[in-house]
């Protein structure tokens, strides 16, 4: 990944902490001599996105096993998660949800905190909340990028750069795919989301190769503030159905978007009450063009 004009939080230490103890070492990128050619066959990739509501279901009961079961049922290769707690608070039993879900699903994980706060007590862990990416494929690189945010943790916030826009590069049988997960501002005023879209597109523009951007956009695909996305990306699941609320959804605000050249062969939402959102899953075909 190339350097950015906006500062990114490098992920080396986070990757080491997230992958150690439960997962094999990440595979090294293919050498130029062994890299697949531009005309290699397309490879399948199933990608999902899910706002997990910090492990609480539509019934507001925290049950991370239920969350894991819902994720397992997607049978996805890569999953973007939003509203992930890591030692955040009593609502999620101070669990490290990113690591716990990775262990339950036997997947690699990269966690990208939006908020990183002091421990609740002297002997506690730092309290973090953000997004994550789970992957069955080797992860070659990862970054936690900054985008514009309006903090929920400070009084009288003003829009400012803050982390929590995750990017991983996964090796899908020779295709180096950039997968991003995001959680955009929830407020009725679209101005922060508009700035966030511009920031995300700036990050994507610095990367070459196939790209998949997923997340909770807190706006429907037709919202004016999302319009710039469709100049560069394609909505992969326009007919998949609503995602929010999980019971009888009336909005489709959880989106999977793909760059030109990625073929969509299937897309659906999944009816589950393991969160207040429904997950979206897409089947893609990606050409092995390198990184």
Q: Indicate the SS3 state at residue 39.
A: coil
> Secondary structure of 59-126 in the HEC alphabet?
CCCECHHHHHHHHHHHCCCEEEEEEEEECCCHHHCCCEHHHHHHHHHCCEEEEEEEEEECCCCCCCCC
Q: Indicate the SS3 state at residue 188.
A: coil
**pLDDT at 37 (0 to 100):** 47
**pLDDT at 266 (0 to 100):** 98
Give the burial class of 210: count Cβ atoms within 10 A of its Cβ; 0-12 exposed, 13-18 middle, 19 or more buried: buried
pLDDT 10s per residue in the chain (291 long)?
654 444 454 443 344 344 433 333 333 344 333 444 456 789 999 999 999 999 999 999 999 999 999 999 999 999 999 999 999 999 999 999 999 999 999 999 999 999 999 998 888 899 999 999 999 999 999 999 999 999 999 999 999 999 999 999 999 999 999 999 999 999 999 999 999 999 999 999 999 999 999 999 999 999 999 999 999 999 999 999 999 999 999 999 999 999 999 999 999 999 999 999 999 999 999 998 644
**pLDDT at 123 (0 to 100):** 85
**Taking the CA of residue 122 as centre, how many other CA atoms within 13 Å lie in the half-sphere pointing to its CB?**
0
**Taking the CA of residue 223 as centre, how many other CA atoms within 13 Å lie in the half-sphere pointing to its CB?**
21
Residue written as token pair 């004009």: 5
**pLDDT at 256 (0 to 100):** 99
CA–CA separation, 287 vs 261, rounded Å?
8
**pLDDT at 258 (0 to 100):** 98
**pLDDT at 41 (0 to 100):** 86
**pLDDT at 39 (0 to 100):** 63
């Amino acid at each position: 990944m190339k350097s950015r004009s906006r500062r990114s939080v490098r992920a080396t230490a986070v990757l080491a902490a997230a992958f150690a103890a439960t997962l094999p070492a990440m595979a090294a990128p293919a050498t130029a001599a062994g890299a697949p050619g531009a005309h290699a066959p397309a490879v399948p990739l199933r990608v999902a996105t899910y706002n997990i509501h910090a492990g609480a279901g539509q019934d507001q009961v925290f049950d991370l096993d239920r969350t894991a079961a819902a994720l397992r049922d997607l049978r996805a290769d890569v999953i973007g998660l939003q509203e992930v707690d890591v030692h955040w608070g009593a609502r999620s039993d101070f669990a490290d949800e990113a690591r716990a879900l990775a262990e339950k699903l036997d997947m690699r994980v990269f966690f990208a905190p939006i908020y990183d706060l002091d421990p609740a007590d002297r002997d506690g862990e730092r309290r973090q909340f953000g997004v994550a990416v789970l992957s069955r494929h080797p992860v070659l690189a990862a970054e936690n990028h900054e985008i514009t945010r309006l903090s929920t943790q400070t009084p009288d916030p003003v829009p400012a750069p803050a982390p929590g826009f995750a990017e991983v590069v996964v090796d899908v049988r020779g295709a180096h795919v950039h997968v991003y997960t995001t959680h955009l501002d929830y407020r009725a005023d679209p101005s922060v989301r508009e700035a966030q879209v511009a920031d995300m597109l700036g990050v994507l523009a610095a990367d070459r190769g196939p790209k998949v951007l997923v997340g909770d956009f807190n706006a429907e695909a037709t919202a004016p503030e999302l319009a710039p996305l469709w100049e560069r990306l394609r909505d992969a699941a326009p007919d998949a159905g609503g995602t929010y609320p999980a019971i009888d959804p009336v909005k489709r605000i959880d989106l999977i978007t793909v760059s030109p050249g990625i073929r969509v062969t299937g897309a659906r939402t999944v009816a589950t009450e393991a969160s207040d959102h429904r997950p979206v899953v897409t089947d893609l075909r990606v050409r092995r063009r390198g990184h």
